Amino acid sequence: MDAIKYIALDLDGTLTDSRKTITPRTLDALSSAQEKGVTLIIASGRPPQGIVPVARELRLAERGGYVMAYNGGEVVRAEDGEILFRHPLPADVIPEVCAWSHRLGLPLITHVDGNILTNSPHDVHVVRNAGINGMPIVGTDSMAEVLRDVPQSPVKFLMLGEASPLAEAELLLRNAFAGRLEVCRSTPNFMEIVAAGIDKATALKHILRDRNAEASQLMAFGDGDNDLSMIRYAGLGIAMANATQRLRDAADFVTLDNDSDGIAYALERFL
């Protein structure tokens, strides 16, 4: 394995603990890696606005890091704010996804211009997502009406609900949109919907191309099934102990959980 020069970090359930904070030990370990010339990449399903506070805490703008948002749908270079990559949802599938949300009775949200747009503004999972990202909710009962005046297609939809019905919905939508959309749950209650071919590994390829680097120089941390592509792509893929079974099986190494400084533990071991 080549020397590690890049570290990709999923955010919720990986970089942050159950209180949504970065622990002092993990922050110190990542700062130490940066001082050694390692570039950090936040690789999250969150919108860019929901990642900004963490990017500031890790001083990505000063230290040359990257922000990957929307589960790989958008990549921003932190030092100058340049968008390296943005892939919106195909316009023709948007009404279909909205119709599925209505048919299944499961809330749908997207993030546009600093707002959370939704067809279920009072749903508990929608409110939770708004709290995580620090964004206001805008919505009515009709998602099509909410999106009517949006200037460009959104990059991602998030369908929300209780674990069992959302798992059933995941299978239905994967079949309905095979070859047109990527559908994957990032948590039991959140299901990511992005354009076909978009995932965290694809976005990481754009970042490494920007730096003329190789996947063998990349270490990646994750906890959800939406992290599978980057864990498999990285030269060293690491799953948190709280990760899904699929991710733990795919990883090169399983570290401690996100409440036990799993990132710091792995960095101390491998760097």
Q: What's 109-138 look like in SS3?
A: EEEECCEEEECCCCCHHHHHHHHHHCCCEE
Burial of 211 (0-12, 13-18, 19+ CB in 10 A): middle
User: What is the per-residue pLDDT for 130?
Assistant: 94
Q: How far is CA 244 from the centre of its chain?
A: 15
| Nearest alpha-carbon partner for 73 in 54, 53, 51, 58 | 51
Cα–Cα dist 204/61, whole Å: 18
| Whether the Cβ atoms of residue 265 and residue 255 lie closer than 8 Å to each other | yes
pLDDT category of residue 149 using cuts at 50, 70 and 90:
confident
DSSP-derived secondary structure for 213-246: --GGGEEEEE-SGGGHHHHHHSSEEEE-TTS-HH
Q: How far is CA 196 from the centre of its chain?
A: 16
pTM for this structure?
0.92
Cα–Cα dist 82/17, whole Å: 29
Q: How do residues 91-108 score in pLDDT, each as one tens digit?
A: 899 999 999 999 999 999
Structure tokens at 197: 């071919």
Top pLDDT among 215 and 151 is at 215
Q: Which domains does the chain have, with CATH numbers?
A: 6-87+198-270 (3.40.50.1000), 91-195 (3.30.1240.10)
Q: How do residues 191-229 score in pLDDT, each as one tens digit?
A: 999 999 999 999 999 999 999 999 999 999 999 999 999
Q: Which residue has tokens 């239905």?
A: 172
Q: What's 163-222 look like in SS3?
A: HHHHHHHHHHHHHHCCCCEEEEEEECCEEEEEECCCCHHHHHHHHHHHCCCCHHHEEEEE
Calculate the average pLDDT of the chain.
95
Q: Which amino acid is at 247?
A: L
Q: Which residue has tokens 């970090």?
A: 9
> Over 80: is that where the pLDDT of 121 sits?
yes
Count CB-CB contacts under 10 A for residue 25: 14
User: What is the per-residue pLDDT for 230?
Assistant: 98
Structure tokens at 143: 């998602």
Q: How far is CA 10 from the centre of its chain?
A: 6
pLDDT category of residue 1 using cuts at 50, 70 and 90:
low
